[in-house]
Amino acid sequence: MGKKKQVDDSIIPIDIAPSDPGYLRASRKKITKQEAQRLRSLKLTAPCFLDNIPCRARSKRRVTRKKSTSKLKNKLDSGSFECYLETLWSRLPADKRDLFTRLDCQWFAWYRKASYREKVLSWVKRKEIFSTKYVLVPIVCWGHWSLLIFCHFGESLQSKTRTPCILLLDSLQMSDPLRLEADIRRFMFDIYKAEGRPENKRMIYQVPLLVPKVPQQRNGKECGNFVLYFINLFVKSAPENFNINDYPYFMKNDWFNAEAVERFCERLHFGM
């Protein structure tokens, strides 16, 4: 019998995404004991862990609306999410889409891994995100979906009328959305640095990070659907100039209701 391989029990691998940036195959992220404990705690209240739900062409067979809609009620993996988002995006008004840049839903998770960080920053740079009013960053971390929105990043950080700020929309605020703040601010700083912008770290870290009290999901599987719905409504409703004095604008507890999300999921499954 050979020697048994020693395993560091302080590192616990979990599946965080169905692909990596190099080969589009299964990827595993290692986390510490502390993060694993937080993850187990989160799972009790938000079991939004990702399943493999392939996004495929519409079946030629007749499918009942109830059965087909149930697919969007299940947990969404990143492939399914991007497929649905592509459908949604193509149906949004062109003049509204022009105000936005959207990043792939995997990029933030990959950025958090040091080995992929430079690659992700090079991809973001190609997006020229400072040329649009808003940048949509769907996030999936610890198996939970939320939506990060960078507002007016091309403007001066001292602007009073077009206020650079960060919005974090989370349909499960009891899971503590601000646990990602350190990673978000580091991501923002590295983007500015990669672009050769003159702003220093102190200025960038003073940009407001706002978490509006948006409607909340009713179970542990709806977070991906809520993010798709956040994107849909925000793109349609966002002002051309986001002024922090008018925050939270339309993003309030009564922004929408459960029935509206239900109807949205039905339309999305049937191609809007």
SS3 content of the chain, % helix, strand, coil (to 5): 45, 15, 45
Alpha-carbon distance of 247 to 261, in angstroms, equals: 23
pLDDT per residue over 155-188, tens digit each?
888 777 788 999 999 999 888 999 999 999 999 9
Structure tokens belonging to residue 234: 């925000």
Report pTM.
Answer: 0.75
The domains of the chain are located at 77-268
Q: Give the E-state strand segments of 110-242 in sequence order.
A: 134-141, 144-151, 165-169, 209-210
pLDDT of 141-160, one tens digit each?
Answer: 988 999 999 999 888 887 77
CATH topology of domain 77-268: Adenoviral Proteinase; Chain (3.40.395)
